Structure formats: structure tokens, C-alpha cells
């Protein structure tokens, strides 16, 4: 046993500072402790490795404290004595500058402890040393228990030495496994889990390196292709996400085939991919790669037994000196890609100065929108809704206008798309609703109502009805003076939520108007189901009316009027521009209308002046 422990000591010394090491055993039955191994450069003269000492005589022993508490202790011995509440003046053994002791535990029972200590200032123990010593202590205890159970004390030292060597090898393998796990974690942080492609972070780093190389040497040009799949969401939502995932994996494979090292393909998220061409010979070669990508993705994919079709829109940026960061490069590639979508999809567009100027205009418009919200530059314009037989104004539709300080009055088509993209449209809508309610009381006729347009995204909020009703309370308006206009798309997107909202508003006295009827799904089922008061015939049908023609728009208008009459609903014809259209609608028993024939949309002040 002595030889085995000396051999163990020698192995531990190769792994950590363990010049001073001893092993203590605790006999629970006799409540005694003895040192089965002791090696110290400052030996304590009273130590006897064969003697069993009653625990009652070891009140100031750090070793006994570790055994009794069953947990490791590390640090200067003076500090540890205080931590365990022991007397420093009567401590057993020489004081050390650093001390490390770990218990030997099996099945929840502490059988002893292994201790190393240092008297030198440079030699300090670490958490890694503590883990290693705990590991060794556990195997020392295991070796002792096996020896006691199966063999005599004469077991060969060589056998025990090899056992510990195997244990140390296992420890090294565990360390190596941890290092492999860390490497895998680092890899995962830079790669997409689904496709295995580099992710956005990896791609940004690669773009930054390509840009830096180009700035050092203009001959090392680079280009970025940014693409997403056309109508991928339709596939993903209709067939299932597992099929969508398989499609993305196939797309990743096809994109990798389209390039050669050192070019890089990355998945940025969702169905968005990017390609970095690190060695570009010419703009023509970049366009050739883009076309190769489009052609590769046009080939049908056989996934889960189904033949699926997709295509790609690609935006291209050629690197140049003006780019300061990877974000700028990808932003311009994104602009070019959306231009490709706008021109019909399944194509590529090169980012150029024209697109750059358009991007600058969008950025300027976004800044103007933020300022406009702060300054409340949005205001409602009102278009009368009239009774066709006598021109009497029944109500008004509130239409959004922006009083731009430099460009004058702007209609929504000049800024709505940008506002929707940057998320500011919700704020603009509620500013509009607030302003509308603030001026309704100023209309000449107190019996008129005003309709406000509420987009489908507002119906996603469960508190829409509460907010609108609170708006009426703030402005002391009767509920009958406010109506909301919504489209068929809002009814279909979240029917249960919309039904709950409309029912709540209807009970409070706020009527609902269905806008652009006839241009969408136009199902009779939702006309029965939802509490709608009015249908609006879309202006496209009104403008196409021709007296004497029974089909086409005339047939649609007649059908809508008959349907509304059956359901007890009002009908408003939009976009009436000529007297002939007005008279023809009256002949078909359409009671109400609006359009330029009666009045364009105007601010509230003009109506007050007219009154």
C-alpha cells in the first residue's frame, strides 16, 4: 500500500503542485483518524502514519473539518481555520501559505480526505487543481475499497500505478471531450443549424474581411448577392414547416453548387440567403453567377413525395471604397433585391447610383416621418358621403393627409409603404383617429357621422374596441357619429377576434362599414356572420358602369344592391365622378355615394367656411 501511495503521489506531482501531500482515513465505528500516507517538506514530529487518534483530540484540525463537513476547502490555512471556526493558536501541524483538501466520499459517507499544501508564495492552488485532486481522491478511495474487499495488502504496486495512470488518461480524455464540445459550440454560433451554412454573424465577418482586402488592394474585388425565395411563405404555411425546412436544405445545397471556393454561401434567416464572391473578375461574371442561382432554383424540387416549385429574386452589390461596414453592403443588396421583386420576381437587379438615390430618399422620408409624428403633421381630410337623390350630406370619410413642411399636402401613396415598413403606421393611424374625433363636433350638421379606416393589423389587438370607445369618451362624442371601415382581408385574417371587436363596438353604437366590397373573397357567409351596417361598392365597378350593358360591372353592382337590400344593409358607391354614373346608380336603387362629383377630400376648415 505504501508503495502504491508513493506512486500515486508521484503521478499527482506531475499534474499539479503536490510536494506536500497526505491522506487521512476516518474510522466511523471507532471515531478515529489516522494518516495512511504523509509526505511533507516540514514534517510534524508528532505525526505517526500508523496511529489512530480519537477525533475528540483533533478539535483544531483542518483535515478533520473537511471530513466532518464533507466538502473541499482551499486557501491559506489561517483563513480556513477562521472559516471553520477553529483556533489558530492551537492548530495542528505547520501553517501553510496555501492549503487544499478534498473529502473521499462513497455512497454519501465520508471515509477520509486527501490534502496538499504549499509553503511557497508562487505555488497557489486553482479550481482546476481542486477538480483534479477530487478526481484522484475518489479513485484512491475506490482502490482502497477494492483492495480491502478482494486482495491482501501485498497487491503489486505496478497494478495500482497502472490503474491510476488509466484514471489520469480518462481525465485527459474528458478534458479533450470538453475542448471538442467548446469547438462545436463555437462552430454552432457561426453556422445555421438547419442547413449547416454560415450564419449572419459569419457572413458579416467575411464581408468585412473582403472589404478590408479591397481597400488594401483594388485588384481584389468582391461582390455580394442577396436573395430570398419568391412565395416561400405560401409553401411553408400550406404544406407544413417540415416540408419548408426540407426545401431550405435543398436550396442551400443548390446554392453551394453555384459557387466555387473561396466564395461563401450563408443563410441569414428564414428564406433569406446571401453569397459573397471574394474574387470577382468583372460585373459580367457576377451577373453570370446570379443567373446561375436563378436557374438552379427554378428546377422543381421533389420533397416528401411532392414536386415543389420556387424561384428567387436576387440583389447584387459590387464592393467599392464608399462602403464603411458590412451592414451598408447588405442594406444596398437588400434594396436591389426588392427592386427585382418589384420588376416581376425571378430575376436579378444590380445596385447602382439610381437605386442609391432612391434608398437615400427612403431614408429621408423615414426621418421626415419620425419628425412628422412628433410634430403631429398628419391631419384628416374629409370626403362627403351623400344621398344621391338630393345631394344631402349624410356623413364623411376621413382620409389621411400629411402636411409636409416642404412638399405640401401628401396623400398616403407617397409615404404609406415606407411607414408600413418601418412600423410607424400604427402611430400615424392613432394620431389620425385622435385628430378626427377632435374635429367632428365642428361639422355644420350635428347629425352627420364620420368613418375612419381601420386596417387589418389593428384588429390583431384584443383591445381595439376599448381604445376606440375611450377615444369617444375623451372627446365627448356620441357613438353614432363614428363608424369604422374595414376590408374583407381583415375579416378573413382573424375572424374570431374581428367578430368579438365588431360586436363590442356595435353594442356601444359604433357601426361597421365593409370597404371595397366585391374586390376580394366576397363570401355571403361573413355578411351573415359579422355585424356590418354598410357595404361600399369599389370605385373600379363604378368607373366601369355603362348604361345599356347588363353584364360586367353593371351586373356586379346590381347583385351587391340586391344582396344588401335582402340583408337590410346600406350601400355606398365610391368614386362617382360623372353625373351619368350618379343617375345610373339611382336608377339601380343605390341610395348613397361619394366621389369627386360631389366634392374631393378637403380639410375641416373648408367645410366650416362653406357652412
Q: Residue 415 half-sphere exposure, CB side, CA atoms within 13 Å?
A: 28
User: Which cell numbers in the block locate residue 249?
Assistant: 436544405
| Domain final position from 324, 351, 378 | 351
Q: Do 90 and 221 sit in the same domain of this protein? A: no
Buried/exposed 105-136: b ≥16 CB within 10 Å, e otherwise: beeeebbbbbbbbbeeeebebeeebbebbbbb
Q: Is residue 117 part of a domain?
A: yes
CA 268/CA 248 separation, integer angstroms:
12
Backbone CA torsion sign across 347, 353, 357, 360:
positive
Cα dihedral 521, 522, 527, 530, rounded to 10, equals 30
- Give the model confidence (pLDDT) of 336-381 as tens digits: 888 888 778 888 988 876 766 776 777 788 888 999 999 999 999 9
For 361, residues 6+ apart whose C-beta sits below 8 A from its C-beta are none
Q: Do 408 and 505 sit in the same domain of this protein? A: yes
Q: Do 376 and 318 sit in the same domain of this protein? A: no
Q: Do 369 and 444 sit in the same domain of this protein? A: yes
3-state secondary structure of 343: coil
Q: Do 25 and 168 sit in the same domain of this protein? A: yes
CA 344/CA 312 separation, integer angstroms:
11
Q: Is residue 315 part of a domain?
A: yes
CA 608/CA 440 separation, integer angstroms:
11
Q: Could you tell me the residue range of the domain that residue 542 belongs to? A: 365-610
Residue 92 or residue 378, greater confidence: 378
Q: Do 6 and 126 sit in the same domain of this protein? A: yes
Strands of the sheet containing 73-75, edge to edge, are 53-54, 32-39, 20-27, 109-118, 98-106, 73-75
CA 13/CA 7 separation, integer angstroms:
10
Percentage of residues of the chain with pLDDT beyond 70: 92
- Give the model confidence (pLDDT) of 273-328 as tens digits: 999 998 775 788 899 999 999 999 989 888 877 788 888 899 999 887 677 778 88
Mean pLDDT of the chain: 86
3-state secondary structure of 287: helix
Q: Do 572 and 460 sit in the same domain of this protein? A: yes
Q: Do 553 and 417 sit in the same domain of this protein? A: yes
- Give the model confidence (pLDDT) of 3-24 as tens digits: 888 888 999 999 899 999 999 9
User: Which cell numbers in the block locate residue 7?
Assistant: 506512486
Q: Is residue 44 part of a domain?
A: yes
CATH code of 340's domain: 3.30.70.270
Q: Single out the residue of 168, 170, 288, 159 nearest to residue 223, CA to CA.
A: 288
pLDDT at position 611 is 42
Q: Do 219 and 128 sit in the same domain of this protein? A: no
Q: Answer whether 318's CB lies under 8 Å from 286's CB.
A: yes
Q: Do 435 and 536 sit in the same domain of this protein? A: yes
For the cut 80, the answer to whether the pLDDT of residue 92 exceeds it is no
Q: Is residue 183 part of a domain?
A: no
Q: Is residue 260 part of a domain?
A: yes
Strands of the sheet containing 223-229, edge to edge, are 264-269, 272-277, 223-229, 312-318, 348-350
What's the number of domains the chain is made of?
A: 3
For 170, residues 6+ apart whose C-beta sits below 8 A from its C-beta are none
- Give the model confidence (pLDDT) of 136-172 as tens digits: 898 888 888 887 777 554 556 677 778 888 888 888 8
Q: Answer whether 262's CB lies under 8 Å from 268's CB.
A: no
* Mean predicted confidence (pLDDT) in 567-589: 93
| Domain final position from 131, 159, 174 | 174
Q: Do 329 and 369 sit in the same domain of this protein? A: no
3-class secondary structure per residue, 527-565: HHHCCCCEEEECHHHHHCCCCCCCCHHHHHHHHHHHHHH
Q: Answer whether 381's CB lies under 8 Å from 375's CB.
A: no
Q: Do 381 and 337 sit in the same domain of this protein? A: no
Residue 522 or residue 50, greater confidence: 50
Amino acid at each position: 500500500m505504501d508503495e502504491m501511495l508513493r506512486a500515486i503521489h508521484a503521478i499527482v506531482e506531475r499534474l499539479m503542485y503536490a510536494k506536500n501531500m497526505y491522506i487521512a482515513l476516518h474510522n466511523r465505528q471507532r471515531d478515529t483518524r489516522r494518516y495512511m500516507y504523509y509526505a511533507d517538506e516540514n514534517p510534524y514530529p508528532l505525526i505517526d502514519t500508523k496511529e489512530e487518534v480519537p477525533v475528540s483530540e483533533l478539535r483544531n484540525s483542518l483535515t478533520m473539518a473537511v471530513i466532518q463537513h464533507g466538502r473541499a476547502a482551499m486557501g491559506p490555512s489561517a483563513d480556513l481555520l477562521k472559516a471553520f471556526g477553529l483556533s489558530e493558536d492551537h492548530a495542528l501541524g505547520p501553517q501553510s501559505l496555501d492549503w487544499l483538501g478534498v473529502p473521499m466520499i462513497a455512497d454519501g459517507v465520508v471515509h477520509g480526505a486527501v490534502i496538499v499544501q504549499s509553503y511557497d508564495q508562487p505555488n497557489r492552488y486553482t479550481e482546476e487543481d481542486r477538480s483534479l485532486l477530487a478526481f484522484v481522491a475518489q479513485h484512491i478511495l475506490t482502490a482502497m475499497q477494492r483492495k480491502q474487499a478482494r486482495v491482501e495488502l501485498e497487491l503489486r504496486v505496478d497494478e495500482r500505478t497502472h490503474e491510476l495512470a488509466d484514471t489520469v488518461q480518462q481525465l485527459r480524455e474528458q478534458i479533450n471531450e470538453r475542448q471538442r464540445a467548446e469547438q462545436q459550440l463555437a462552430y454552432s454560433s457561426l453556422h445555421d443549424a438547419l442547413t449547416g451554412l454560415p450564419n449572419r454573424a459569419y457572413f458579416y465577418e467575411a464581408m468585412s474581411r473582403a472589404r478590408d482586402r479591397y481597400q488594401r488592394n483594388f485588384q481584389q474585388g468582391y461582390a455580394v448577392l442577396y436573395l430570398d425565395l419568391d412565395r416561400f411563405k405560401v409553401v411553408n404555411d400550406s404544406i407544413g414547416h417540415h416540408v419548408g425546412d426540407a426545401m431550405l436544405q435543398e436550396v442551400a445545397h443548390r446554392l453551394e453548387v453555384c459557387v466555387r471556393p473561396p466564395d461563401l454561401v450563408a443563410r441569414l434567416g428564414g428564406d433569406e440567403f446571401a453569397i459573397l464572391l471574394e474574387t470577382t473578375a468583372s460585373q459580367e461574371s457576377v451577373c453570370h453567377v446570379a443567373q446561375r442561382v436563378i436557374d438552379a432554383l427554378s428546377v422543381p424540387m421533389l420533397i416528401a413525395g411532392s414536386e415543389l416549385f420556387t424561384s428567387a429574386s436576387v440583389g447584387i452589390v459590387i464592393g467599392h471604397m464608399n462602403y464603411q461596414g458590412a451592414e451598408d453592403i447588405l442594406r444596398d443588396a437588400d434594396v436591389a433585391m426588392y427592386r427585382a421583386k418589384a420588376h416581376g420576381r425571378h430575376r436579378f437587379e444590380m445596385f447602382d447610383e439610381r437605386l442609391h438615390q432612391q434608398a437615400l430618399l427612403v431614408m429621408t422620408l423615414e426621418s421626415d416621418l419620425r419628425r412628422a409624428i412628433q410634430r403631429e403633421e398628419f391631419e384628416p381630410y374629409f370626403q362627403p358621403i351623400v344621398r344621391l337623390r338630393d345631394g344631402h350630406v349624410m356623413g364623411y370619410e376621413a382620409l389621411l393627409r400629411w402636411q409636409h413642411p416642404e412638399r405640401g399636402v401628401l396623400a398616403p401613396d407617397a409615404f404609406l409603404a415606407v411607414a408600413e415598413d418601418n412600423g410607424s403606421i400604427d402611430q400615424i393611424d392613432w394620431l389620425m383617429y385622435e385628430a378626427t374625433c377632435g374635429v367632428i363636433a365642428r361639422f355644420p350638421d350635428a347629425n352627420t357621422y364620420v368613418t375612419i379606416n381601420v386596417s387589418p393589423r389593428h384588429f390583431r389587438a384584443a383591445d381595439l374596441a376599448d381604445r376606440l370607445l375611450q377615444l369617444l369618451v375623451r372627446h365627448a362624442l356620441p357613438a353614432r357619429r363614428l363608424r369604422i371601415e374595414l376590408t374583407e382581408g381583415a375579416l378573413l385574417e382573424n375572424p374570431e377576434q374581428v367578430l368579438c371587436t365588431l360586436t363590442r363596438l356595435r353594442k356601444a353604437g359604433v357601426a361597421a362599414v365593409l370597404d371595397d366590397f366585391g374586390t376580394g373573397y366576397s363570401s355571403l357567409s361573413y355578411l351573415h356572420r359579422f355585424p356590418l351596417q354598410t357595404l361600399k361598392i369599389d370605385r373600379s365597378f363604378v368607373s366601369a358602369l355603362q348604361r345599356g350593358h347588363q353584364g360586367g360591372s353593371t351586373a356586379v353592382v346590381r347583385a351587391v344592391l340586391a344582396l344588401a337590400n335582402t340583408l337590410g344593409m346600406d350601400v355606398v358607391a365610391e368614386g362617382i365622378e360623372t353625373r351619368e354614373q350618379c343617375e345610373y346608380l339611382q336608377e339601380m336603387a343605390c341610395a348613397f355615394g361619394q366621389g369627386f362629383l360631389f366634392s374631393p377630400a378637403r380639410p375641416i376648415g373648408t367645410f366650416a367656411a362653406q357652412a
